[in-house]
Amino acid sequence: MAFSADELRVLRRALATALHPTPLSDEDVQDALRLAGSVDEAVHEAGRLRAFLLADLARYRSALPAAAPGYLELLQDALAAGYQPVPDDLVALRTLRHLPVGLALLRRCQVVAELSLRARLAGRSAAPAPRIRLLALPGGRAADEPRPKEPVPAPVPVPDRVPQPGRPMPKPSEVFPPRRRPVPPPEQWAAG
């Protein structure tokens, strides 16, 4: 995402106000709200583009092996954008490992999938955290209003991972049940 010179000026003023709260003019508030709206729109559009690219990738994957060049190119672009390969990608790449690009992508996807799995098992998510929308900036017209106190979250007890005596260790298939593939909706044919 790139900002124009005017947008950077607005962003700089908003950050300065956040660091050193001062009242904002109505024009500054409107500029900040327009910039937040533009960023939200860009994020929404990026999400739509990502959904389109993932659907395109699935279409190419289902048309393999005839669509191998297009699939491999789309997969490379998706990986560069942070895509986490799914098991279907690994299966498809195993069928294309006779191609140099297919073999290289298979190795790369195996590494990414392994890192993702390790991150999930360690309790971290490999996906980026959801974006939190900026609702208000300190300063400006709301600076004189009292702010409500944030509730302090209670500590979450950590579950005991040690098996109880006399109780067998669960199998991985019991802890992580197999994923079910979604059933595609039936195709409807339009007359005409």
pLDDT per residue over 132-147, tens digit each?
665 555 555 555 555 5
pLDDT of residue 125: 52
Closest CA to 184 of 59, 87, 60, 97: 59
Average pLDDT of every residue of the chain: 75
- CA gap 99, 1 in Å, rounded: 34
Is pLDDT of 42 > 70? yes
Is pLDDT of 55 > 80? yes
Cα 164 to Cα 73, 157, 161, 170, 180: the distances in Å are: 50, 18, 9, 11, 31
pLDDT per residue over 62-105, tens digit each?
888 888 888 888 888 888 888 888 888 888 888 888 888 888 88
Is pLDDT of 32 > 80? yes
Domain ranges of the chain: 5-9+24-125
pLDDT of residue 16: 84
With a CB cutoff of 8 Å and minimum separation 6, the contacts of 18 are 137, 138, 139
pLDDT of residue 7: 82
Residue type, 62: S
Label residue 13 by pLDDT band (50, 70, 90).
Answer: confident
Is pLDDT of 119 > 70? yes
